[in-house]
Amino acid sequence: MKKLLFLLFTSSNYFAQAQNVTINCHFSMASEDSCFLRLDKYHIKEYEPFYKMVLKDNECAFKFTVDNAMMAELMYNKQSVGIWLEPNDNLKLTIAYDSLYKAVSFEGQGTISNEFLKAFNKTFKNDFDKDAMKQHILTSPIDPYENNLFAERKKQSEFLANYKDKDKFSPAFTDYIKNTIKYNYFYQLQAFPIINGNQSSSILTVTPLPAVLLESITPELANNDAALNCEQYRLFLYYYVIYNTSKLNGFNKFTDNSISMEKKMGFANQTLIGKPNVYFIASFLNENVTNVSPYTAKHIYELLGNNEKSGEYTKLLKTKCEKQIKMKVVEDKKTASSSTPSDQATGGVKILGTDGKYFTFEDLKGKVVYVDFWASWCGPCRGQFPFSKELHKKFTPKQLKNVVFLYISIDKTEEIWKKAIEQNGLGDFKNGLVPGDWGSEIVKYFQINSIPRYMLIDKKGKIVDFNAKRPSDDAVYDDIIKLIE
């Protein structure tokens, strides 16, 4: 029988030292030659330890070490069941009828918790079914939907309270089940407006939940290190961040993936602490990194690295993130100069100035930079220029020494660009050109999908607002002043 490489896991709330775990599987009439096991170590499926064992005489055994309680997924014949594992567990599974779904019995250390899981999952299968949840959301008003969730939560809690062997559960398993019940209610509640809002691209807003239903959904509820081994908690984190980011955006749906990512990560980083913070950033970045700009991929990956002490997630996501960060920008050979390469680092895109020399964002460090992305053919861009000039006048000469109003055009040629500068009276401001229209490298680097678009950069060269307010919004003056001071 093959031996598996043992695994060393990170620290836990319940156990300090790695201990052995053995899972023996006996099939009464196996039709397949292999059985698989996936451990829920990182809570991101594609990176989890995954093992294949070949059956011999209808049996196989998995042996490894763990230092904390966790869930695992046993897979056979395109079927899977969840198994609760703790250090020193020695489980024997007997599988009848060649099916994980028909009859599985447990023996040995770990039996009590897994027999409960089997009974609990059988009784409340529909309450945890994502497809069933989505169907309920799309066919039910919020009040009866929430009433049903609350009633099912009560039944689940009563099932746990009345279970004959509940006093024999370990503290880790008791907490796991209680968290599963609690967070299943809150996650499905917060999923209601998001799933409804995403059912059609023609729906441009998210309908807020009634305030009374949000009273118990607090940052304290969201920050629960001990619940990370619970899938329902992790789903709650996902919808908690999405719902609250939508709220901060006036419940308007985002149309730009990079802006959406920046806003969600900003909220998560301000609200989530410790392990929930690191897990959520890693999980959301892993899921969405290929859909955002190289700048955003780099920014969020660096955020993860700064927040994570162990570096585990940073290492896991390194290859995937760096591929997006180093994505080559294909220049328009007809319009882009070969002398304007980009090193794809923050601020690395070369910008042509009106004096014929190139500069980068790095050259502007030490000053606050309000960036205006525009083009001569863009009517809404030109419509903002009068407001931009009025904004400029609000600052004192001393303040203006610490701020740069930077107008970056994506026009196709220098001739068109310079003519537009003159026509729009922008000659007194700092102007730059990255030619190529929607194919320009700066558009690709920041994944700009529409103009006008604005960014706000602090004196250290850090982008503090990836989607800054327009000049016509009086509040942008305060945003700039705060950075100047």
Query: Terminus-to-terminus CA distance in the chain, angstroms?
Result: 69
Q: Give the distance between the most distant pair of CA atoms in the chain.
A: 86
pLDDT in tens, 155-185: 999 999 999 999 999 999 999 999 999 999 9
Question: What is each CA distance from 293 to 38, 206, 325, 373, in whole angstroms?
Answer: 32, 25, 8, 16
Q: Find out whether 93 and 104 touch, Cβ atoms under 8 Å.
A: yes
Residue 327's pLDDT band (cuts 50, 70, 90): low
d(CA 284, CA 266): 12
On whether the CB atoms of residues 180 and 230 are closer than 8 A, the answer is yes
The Cβ of residue 174 has, within 10 Å, a number of other Cβ atoms equal to 14
Per-residue pLDDT, 1: 34
Confidence of residue 4 (pLDDT cuts 50, 70, 90): very low
pLDDT, averaged across the chain:
89
- Tell how strand 90-96 and strand 430-433 pair up: unpaired
> How far is residue 132's CA from residue 421's CA, in Å, rounded to a whole number?
57
Under 8 Å between Cβ of 196 and 137: yes
Q: Which residue has the tokens 């042996």?
A: 63
Instruction: Using alpha carbons, list the distances in angstroms from residue 342 to 89, 295, 365, 366, 417.
Output: 55, 12, 18, 22, 21
Nearest partner of 358 among 436, 415, 434, judged by Cα: 434
CA distance 223 to 277: 8
Higher-confidence position of 345 and 280: 280
Confidence of residue 314 (pLDDT cuts 50, 70, 90): very high
Question: DSSP assignment, residue 451?
Answer: S
pTM over 0.95: no
Q: What is the pLDDT of residue 217?
A: 96
Mean pLDDT throughout 19-27? 93
- Comparing 61 with 18, the larger pLDDT belongs to 61
- The closest of 47, 115, 125, 82 to 231, measured between CA atoms, is 82
Q: Are 56 and 245 in contact (CB under 8 A)?
A: no
Alpha-carbon distance of 431 to 356, in angstroms, equals 11
Mean pLDDT in residue range 280-301 = 94
Of 18-22, 53-57, 188-192, 244-248, where does mean pLDDT reach its minimum?
Answer: 18-22
pLDDT in tens, 64-90: 999 899 999 999 988 999 999 999 999
CB 114 within 8 A of CB 82: no
Split at pLDDT 50, 70, 90, the class of 148 is: very high
Q: Is 80 exceeded by the pLDDT of residue 248? A: yes
Lowest mean pLDDT among 18-32, 332-346, 360-374, 409-423: 332-346
Provide the pLDDT confidence category of residue 16 given band limits of 50, 70 and 90: very low
CA dist 382 to 52, 373, 420, 477, Å?
62, 11, 10, 19
Burial 196-206 (b: 16+ CB within 10 A, else e): bbeeeeeeeeb
Tell me the one-letter amino acid at 154: K
Q: In what order do the strands lie in the sheet with 70-76?
A: 50-54, 34-39, 70-76, 79-85
pLDDT category of residue 252 using cuts at 50, 70 and 90: very high
pLDDT of 300 > 50? The answer is yes
Strand 19-27 versus strand 90-96 pairing type: parallel
Domains of the chain: which residue ranges?
19-110, 124-253, 351-484
Q: Per-residue pLDDT averaged across 271-275, rounded? A: 96
State yes or no: pLDDT of 343 exceeds 70.
no
Q: ∠ at Cα 433 (428, 437), nearest 5°?
A: 130
Query: CB-based contacts of 13: which residues, under 8 Å, 6+ apart?
Result: 68, 172, 225, 226
Residue that is written with structure tokens 């060393």 in the block: 8
Mean pLDDT for the stretch of residues 410-429: 94
Which of 73-77, 149-153, 302-306, 443-447 has the lowest average pLDDT? 443-447
The third-level CATH classification (topology) of the domain covering 351-484 is Glutaredoxin (3.40.30)
* pLDDT band at residue 438 using 50, 70 and 90 as cut-offs: confident
The fold for domain 19-110 equals Immunoglobulin-like (2.60.40)
Residue 286 has a pLDDT of 97
Length of the chain: 485
Q: In this predicted model, which residue has the larger pLDDT, 29 or 366?
A: 366
Q: Work out the percent of the chain whose per-residue pLDDT is above 70.
A: 92
Q: What is the mean pLDDT of residues 439-447?
A: 86
Q: Which of 131-135, 182-186, 255-259 shows the lowest per-residue confidence on average (mean pLDDT)?
A: 255-259
Query: Tokens 């763990």 identify what position?
Result: 66
Q: What are the pLDDT digits (tens) for 198-242?
A: 998 888 899 999 999 999 999 999 999 999 999 999 999 999 999
Cα 441 to Cα 143, 177, 375, distances in angstroms: 49, 51, 15
pLDDT in tens, 110-132: 999 999 999 999 999 999 999 99
Q: Give the number of other Cβ atoms within 10 Å of residue 165's Cβ.
A: 11
